[in-house]
């Protein structure tokens, strides 16, 4: 299990999502051909990817949806529970707190923090918005596996560094910057404007073709 | 310019972001070695990537930051203007409307749409929230290059299909599903829960190593 390529890992959450759709529709078995048609990936790619994890399939019978869903879930670490804190309780932070899907997957938002006095105390789907001055004490007193950063870049970098010193090991970073925390922490970035630039690239390229 | 690999395109917005940071700090020249240290990419990778676009660099003098920033911006289509509409004006939709960075890059949010009567009429950074029943007329009357979908998956799929019929060619999709629109439209997905699962995967893997 150690040598799984980054490309396969990148695809696993997508498999997981499709298997989730299938099981919620009550489908119990799926062939690599059917998955292939849904996911726009070749059937042989699917077989090869799933072989990384011991296969799960039987030739001619397809994959057991529920079983495969559970196994991929375990690989993705979703058989465990994670407690998340969101730093930055603006629209983006609150959007994440509201996102019910996470809770189904064992990720629970236990608090949000902000410096804006106008929203401190407000109840959200992820609990009460607390004053950011209470953040480090909260981290000391509560087991927090993930910190989501929905802050502008300079405060995000500063707080991430302090949180690392307080023992936080995993960051979900929405700030438009790399946190530069060095080794010993895990970071997953969501750079929204980079995603949008990929779209403007495609638009621009398609317009150039037309003209 | 036609045969640029997907991997290079994926890296361009990141180059653009770093060059933006350099120019805002007043740096006028940067070597591939310096960029390499900032970006954690090898210097030879950087030279190779930038050579795809004719290089821009002079041996021994490094790259001109402003020039390279502008050129990559052009490649990413950021020398043009885009008008964007956001469908779904909940926290996520409003977070995107508030995100000032986009406007600097020529992408202007001109309206938000929602079905929630409680927020229709509310003013946001992206203009007034309009009733979703006005969406198709609005699209007919206004030149809209990009529609951002910040809706649950079933309504997102349905509205995307109708918008395609109304001539919309580019979607920025935040719904937890593939839109399945087929050819003739450009889609860039932001699947937040897939990003989070990549983080839980890393956490789970690092915990397994420790134990």
Note the pLDDT tens digit of each residue in B123-138: 998 899 999 999 999 9
B4-47 per-position pLDDT tens digit = 787 888 889 999 999 999 999 999 998 888 888 888 889 888 88
Residues of A in contact with B192 (CB under 8 A): 96, 99, 190
State the count of interchain CB pairs (< 8 A) between A and B. 172
pLDDT in tens, B40-85: 889 888 888 887 765 555 666 788 899 889 989 998 999 999 999 9
Per-residue pLDDT reduced to its tens digit, B141-195: 999 999 999 999 999 999 999 999 999 999 999 998 889 898 899 999 999 999 9
Phi-psi region of A184 (alpha: psi -120 to 50; beta: other; left: phi over 0): left
Percent of chain A, pLDDT > 70?
Answer: 93
Q: Which residues of A touch B176 (CB under 8 A)?
A: 17, 101
**What does chain A look like in DSSP terms, one character per residue?**
-TT--HHHHHHHHHHHHHHHHHHHTT--EE-HHHHHHHHTS-HHHHHHHHHTTT--EETTTEEEHHHHHHHHHHHTTTTS-EEEEEE--SHHHHHHHH-THHHHTTEEEEEEEES-TTTTT-EETTEEEEEGGGHHHHHHHS---EEEE-S-HHHHHHHHHHHHHTT--EEEE-SSS-----TT-EEEE--HHHHHHHHHHHHHHHHHHH-
Other CB atoms within 10 A of residue B200 CB: 27
- Among A13, A195, A198, whose Cβ lies nearest the Cβ of B198? A13
Interface test with A, best of B85, B126, B157, B196 (most A CBs within 10 A): B196
Q: How confident is the model at residue A210 (pLDDT cuts 50, 70, 90)?
A: low
Quick one: how far is CA B99 from the chain centroid? 12
The pLDDT assigned to A145 comes to 95
B78 contact residues in A (CB cutoff 8 A):
197, 200
Residue A56 has pLDDT above 70, yes or no: no
Contact residues for B74 (Cβ-Cβ < 8 A; gap 6+): none
Which residue among B17, B75, B186 places its CB closest to the CB of A176? Answer: B17
Please state whether beta strands B82-87 and B107-114 pair in parallel, antiparallel, or not at all (unpaired).
parallel
Enter the tokens of residue B1.
């310019």
Distance from CA of A30 to the nearest CA of B (A): 19
- Average pLDDT in chain A: 89
Give yes or no for residue A55 having a pLDDT over 90. no
Angle at the Cα of A208 from the Cα atoms of A206 and B3, rounded to 5 degrees:
75
- Give the whole-angstrom CA distance, residue B143 versus residue B140: 8
Q: Is B97 left (phi over 0), alpha (psi -120 to 50) or beta?
A: alpha
CA A84, CA A170: separation in Å to the nearest integer?
10
Q: What is the largest CA-CA distance in chain A?
A: 61
- Summarize the confidence of residues A54-82 as an average pLDDT: 82
Residue scoring higher pLDDT (A3 or B62): B62
Judge residue B137's burial from the number of C-beta atoms within 10 Å of its C-beta, 0-12 exposed, 13-18 middle, 19 or more buried.
exposed
Give the per-residue pLDDT at A76: 92
CB distance A158 to A149 below 8 Å: no
**Confidence band for A60, pLDDT divided at 50, 70 and 90:** low
Contact B95 A99 (CB under 8 A): no
Helix (H) or strand (E) holding B72: helix B65-75
Of A17, A176, A203, the CB nearest to B194: A17
ipTM: 0.91
Tens-place pLDDT, residues A89-141: 999 999 999 886 777 788 999 999 999 999 999 999 889 999 999 999 999 99
Residue B148, H or E segment: strand B146-149
Q: Percent of chain B at pLDDT above 90?
A: 59
């Amino acid at each position: 299990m150690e040598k799984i390529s980054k490309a396969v890992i990148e695809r696993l959450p997508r498999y997981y999502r499709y298997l989730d759709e299938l099981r919620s529709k009550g489908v119990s078995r799926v062939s690599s051909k059917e998955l292939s048609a849904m996911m726009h990936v070749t059937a042989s790619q699917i077989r090869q990817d799933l072989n990384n994890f011991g296969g799960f399939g039987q030739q001619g019978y397809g994959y057991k949806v529920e079983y495969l869903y559970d196994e991929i879930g375990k690989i993705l670490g979703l058989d465990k529970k994670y407690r998340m804190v969101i730093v930055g309780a603006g629209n983006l932070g609150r959007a994440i707190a509201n996102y019910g899907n996470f809770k189904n997957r064992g990720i629970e938002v236990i608090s949000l923090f902000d410096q804006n006095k106008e929203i401190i105390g407000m109840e959200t789907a992820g609990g009460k918005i607390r004053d950011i001055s209470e953040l480090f004490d909260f981290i000391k007193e509560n087991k927090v596996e993930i910190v989501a950063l929905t802050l502008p870049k300079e405060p995000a970098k500063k707080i991430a560094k302090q949180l690392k010193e307080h023992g936080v090991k995993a960051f979900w970073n929405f700030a438009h910057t790399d946190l530069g925390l060095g080794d010993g922490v895990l970071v997953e970035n969501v750079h929204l404007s980079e995603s949008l630039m990929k779209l403007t690239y495609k638009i621009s390229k398609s317009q150039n073709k037309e003209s």
